[in-house]
């Protein structure tokens, strides 16, 4: 098993580092060191710079504007972005709806949506979860009734992150209420400006506005906005959820948080002498570093398997990366919180529209509590930890 990068892969890593060094706008770089989030405008700006280089959609096939990279190159690219850190390419667009459209969409849908998804002219949000339909997603109740060449959609989505700044939502709706629950679902794209849509904020435990409830009342959507066949949406959703776990270990994110925790522990934040001189705290940092190294090696083992298969399908073992990645992100956020000490009291206020602390690698001393609290969600979104354990038990351990 090869757990080291080849000479070509190291040269590629240098190329990515050089590109980021030369092209990341100074104001975004400066902000990244000081605040625990990027604003929507920063995400859009950096996304477009990457798109102009052909790198925004790092795992798309070349024919749809991807760079045609191997699994290893994609891994290196994402980890380098997280280590700097830069804003990340928008996962809803790049990891989720884009691949569904180029795999199952019509030629007209591909021609219209894919360039706008890559350039972030369209910001998508994900309308999957509903009250009573999260882990058990197939229980969703939002209905779409045919009326001429339109669907009339009624129901409620919840936890819809960034819906308040999104242009479009990809959405699962029930088109055949009489069918078995997985068989009556369709996958539709909804323009967020359509009459009948109400977006209501959910303020999460960190005190910020990342996510929303979305109410759909007689929302008219052209049949042409359905992706693939009617009632086959569950297949597309499963495909999408597999891709969602791409790059999920987020080693670079946890590494940045640990680095910040060490910095904070070395400065005077109310602890005298500094926390870094405390043997029990140093032990915690070392344990976290070891866990992170183990996670990185596991990620390398999984991409080594992908390197050999290279068939473009997600590996079921990515559930291990989701599970351990979430735990490591939470542990590193906890250490930064401990290191910030009394300065960790939340500053209060809301992030600007579209901003999110959830994925932020940076913890300013006075934002540590906010990042710690939002990191709790890492073991819920993208498939809860208990559900990952079920997948590991079944598909990997054969229990
Ligand atoms: C911050 C945040 C952002 C989110 N953003 C989005 C978004 O943009 N779009 C979207 O569609 N959704 C989003 N979600 C929703 C997320 O996908 C769901 O919260 C998640 O799937 C869990 O579903 P649930 O909340 O209904 O909890 P439930 O499914 O009710 O789970 C409750 C508890 O029971 C456990 N459990 C459930 N089933 C099993 C089982 N079979 N075996 C063992 N234990 C089980 C779970 O692990 C969990 O601990 C977001 C959630 C959060 C917290």
Q: pLDDT by residue (tens digit) across 333-366?
A: 999 888 888 777 655 444 444 444 444 544 556 5
CATH of the domain at 105: 1.10.540.10
Same domain membership, residue 260 and residue 165: no
Assign residue 371 the CATH number of its domain.
1.20.140.10
The pLDDT tens digits for 27-79 are 998 876 555 568 899 999 999 999 999 999 998 999 999 999 988 888 899 88
Q: What is the C-alpha to C-alpha distance for residues 162 and 40, in angstroms, rounded to an integer?
A: 10
Q: Which residues contact 272 (CB under 8 A, 6 or more apart)?
A: none
Q: Cβ(371)–Cβ(256) under 8 Å?
A: no
Centroid of ligand 1 to alpha carbon of 294 (angstroms): 27
Same domain, 214 and 326: no
Q: Is the shortest distance between the CB of 142 and ligand 1 below 6 Å? A: no
What's the average model confidence in pLDDT over 155-174? Answer: 97
Ligand 1 lined by 228 (C-beta under 6 Å): no
CA–CA separation, 127 vs 129, rounded Å?
6
**Whole-angstrom distance, CA of residue 137 vs CA of residue 382:** 12
For residue 274, is it within any domain? yes
Same domain assignment for residues 99 and 131: no
Please give the Cα distance from 180 to 201 (Å, whole number): 33
Q: Is residue 147 part of a domain?
A: yes
217 in contact with ligand 1, CB cutoff 6 A: no
- Nearest CA-CA partner of 266 in 362, 365, 366, 347: 365
Tell me the CA–centroid distance for residue 134 and ligand 1, in Å: 5
The residue out of 231, 263, 290 marking a domain boundary is 231
- Please identify which residue in the block is written with the tokens 């969602």: 244
Q: Residue 178, CB half-sphere, CA atoms under 13 Å: how many?
A: 1
**CATH number where 185 lies:** 2.40.110.10
- Going from the Cα of 380 to the center of ligand 1, the distance in angstroms, rounded, reads 5
Three-class DSSP category at 190 = strand
Report CA(369)–ligand 1 centroid distance (Å).
Answer: 23
If DSSP codes are grouped into helix, strand and coil, which group holds residue 287? helix
Q: Is 194 in the pocket of ligand 1 (CB under 6 A)?
A: no
Residue 211 Cβ contacting ligand 1 at under 6 Å: yes
Domain co-membership, 24 together with 106? yes
| Closest residue to atom 41 of ligand 1, CA basis | 387
Task: Please say if the pLDDT value at position 294 is more than 90.
Answer: yes
CB of 377 closer than 6 angstroms to any ligand 1 atom: yes
CA of 35 to the centre of ligand 1 (A): 28
What percent of the chain has pLDDT above 90?
61
- Is 236 a domain residue? no
Domain that holds residue 378: 241-396
Same domain? For 144 and 129 the reply is yes
Boundary-marking domain end, from 172, 205, 231: 231
* Of 99, 61, 57, 49, the residue nearest 78 (C-alpha): 57
Calculate mean pLDDT across residues 283-302.
91
The per-residue DSSP string of 349-374 comes to S-PPTT--STT-----GGGHHHHHHH
Please report the atom of ligand 1 found closest to the CA of residue 211.
Answer: 3
Would you give the end-to-end CA distance of the chain in angstroms? 26
Taking residue 348's Cβ as centre, other Cβ atoms within 10 Å add up to: 9
Instruction: Establish whether residue 215 lines the binding site of ligand 1, counting it when its CB lies within 6 angstroms of any ligand atom.
Output: no
Res 270 pLDDT > 90:
no
Q: Are residues 280 and 331 in the same domain?
A: yes
Q: Which two tokens stand for residue 113?
A: 């949506």
Beta bridge partners of 191: 168
Tell the residue nearest (CA) to atom 40 of ligand 1. Answer: 387
Distances from the Cα of 107 to the Cαs of 75, 99, 104, 300, in angstroms?
A: 30, 14, 10, 36
- Please provide the DSSP assignment of 42-64 as one string: HHHHHHHHHHHHT-SSTTS-GGG
Q: Which residue in the block uniquely carries the two structure tokens 């949406």? A: 233
Residues 258 and 363 in one domain: yes
φ, ψ for residue 50, nearest 5 deg: -65, -40
Q: Report how many domains make up the chain.
A: 3
208 plus 73 within the same structural domain? no
Summary mean pLDDT of the chain: 88
How does pLDDT run across 237-255, given as a tens digit for each residue?
Answer: 988 887 766 567 888 888 8
Q: Is residue 1 part of a domain?
A: no
Instruction: Let me know if residue 331 belongs to a domain.
Output: yes
**Token pair in block for residue 232:** 């086959």
More confidently predicted of 89 and 35: 89
Q: Is the pLDDT of residue 309 over 70?
A: no
Same domain, yes or no: 162 and 97: no
Please tell me the distance between residue 384's alpha carbon and the centre of ligand 1 in angstroms. 6
Exposure of 311 in the CB half-sphere (CA atoms within 13 A): 5
- Which tokens is 102 given? 């180029």
- Helix/strand/coil for 228: coil
**pLDDT tens per residue across span 1-28:** 556 788 999 999 999 999 999 999 999 9
Give the end of a domain, one of 119, 139, 174: 119
Nearest one of 116, 126, 197 to 162, comparing CA atoms? 126
Query: What is the structure's pLDDT at 191?
Result: 98
Report whether residue 380 contacts ligand 1, using a CB cutoff of 6 Å.
Answer: yes
| Integer Cα distance of 126 and 128 in angstroms | 6
Which residue has the CA at smallest separation from atom 51 of ligand 1?
Answer: 381
State whether 135 and 210 are in the same domain: yes
Is residue 312, in this structure, part of any structural domain at all?
yes
Q: What is the pLDDT of residue 244?
A: 64
The angle that helices 279-309 and 251-266 make with each other, rounded to 10 degrees, is 160
Give the atom of ligand 1 at the shortest distance from the alpha carbon of 384: 47
What secondary structure does DSSP assign to 126-176, as a single string?
Answer: EE--BTTBSTTGGG---EEEEETTEEEEEEEEES-TTTTT-SEEEEEEES-
Q: Any idea which residues carry the catalytic annotation?
A: 244
- 91 Cβ closer than 6 Å to some ligand 1 atom: no
Q: In angstroms, what is the span from residue 245 Cα to ligand 1's centroid?
A: 15
Please name the residue whose Cα sits nearest to atom 4 of ligand 1: 159
Q: Do 387 and 247 lie in a common domain? A: yes
Are residues 290 and 332 part of one domain?
Answer: yes
């Amino acid at each position: 098993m090869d757990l080291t990068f080849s000479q070509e892969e190291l040269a590629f890593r240098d190329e990515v580092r050089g590109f980021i060094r030369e092209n990341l706008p100074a104001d975004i770089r400066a902000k990244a060191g000081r605040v625990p989030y990027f604003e929507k405008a920063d995400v859009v700006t950096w996304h477009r710079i990457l798109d102009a280089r052909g790198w925004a959609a790092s795992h798309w096939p070349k024919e749809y504007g991807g760079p045609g990279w191997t699994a290893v190159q994609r891994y290196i690219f994402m980890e380098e972005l997280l280590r700097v850190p830069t804003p990340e390419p928008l996962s809803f667009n790049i990891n989720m709806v884009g691949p569904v459209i180029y795999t199952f969409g019509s030629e007209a849908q591909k021609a219209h949506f894919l360039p706008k998804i890559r350039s972030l002219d369209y910001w998508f949000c994900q309308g999957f979860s509903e009250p009573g339909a999260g882990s058990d997603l197939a229980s969703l109740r939002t209905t779409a009734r045919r009326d001429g060449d339109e669907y009339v959609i009624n129901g409620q989505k919840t936890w819809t992150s960034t819906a308040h700044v999104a242009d479009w939502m990809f959405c699962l709706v029930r088109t055949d209420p009489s069918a078995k629950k997985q068989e009556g679902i369709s996958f539709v794209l909804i323009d967020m400006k359509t009459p009948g849509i109400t977006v209501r904020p959910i303020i999460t435990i960190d005190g910020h506005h990342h996510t929303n409830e979305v109410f759909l009342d007689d929302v008219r959507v052209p049949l042409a906005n359905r992706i693939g066949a009617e009632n086959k949406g569950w297949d597309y959703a499963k495909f999408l959820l597999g891709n969602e776990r791409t790059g999920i270990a987020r080693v670079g994110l946890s590494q940045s948080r640990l680095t910040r925790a060490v910095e904070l522990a070395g400065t005077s934040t109310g602890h005298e002498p500094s926390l870094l001189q405390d043997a029990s705290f140093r032990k915690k940092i070392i344990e976290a570093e070891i866990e992170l190294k183990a996670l990185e090696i596991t990620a390398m083992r999984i991409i080594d398997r992908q390197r050999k298969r290279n068939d473009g399908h997600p590996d079921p073992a990515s559930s291990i990366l989701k599970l351990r990645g979430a735990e490591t992100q939470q542990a590193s956020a906890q250490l930064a919180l401990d290191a910030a000490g009394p300065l960790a009291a939340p500053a209060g206020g809301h992030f600007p529209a579209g901003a999110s602390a959830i994925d932020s690698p940076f913890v300013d001393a006075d934002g540590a509590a906010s990042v710690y609290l939002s990191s709790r969600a890492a073991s819920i979104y993208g498939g809860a930890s208990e559900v990952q354990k079920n997948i590991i038990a079944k598909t990997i351990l054969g229990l």
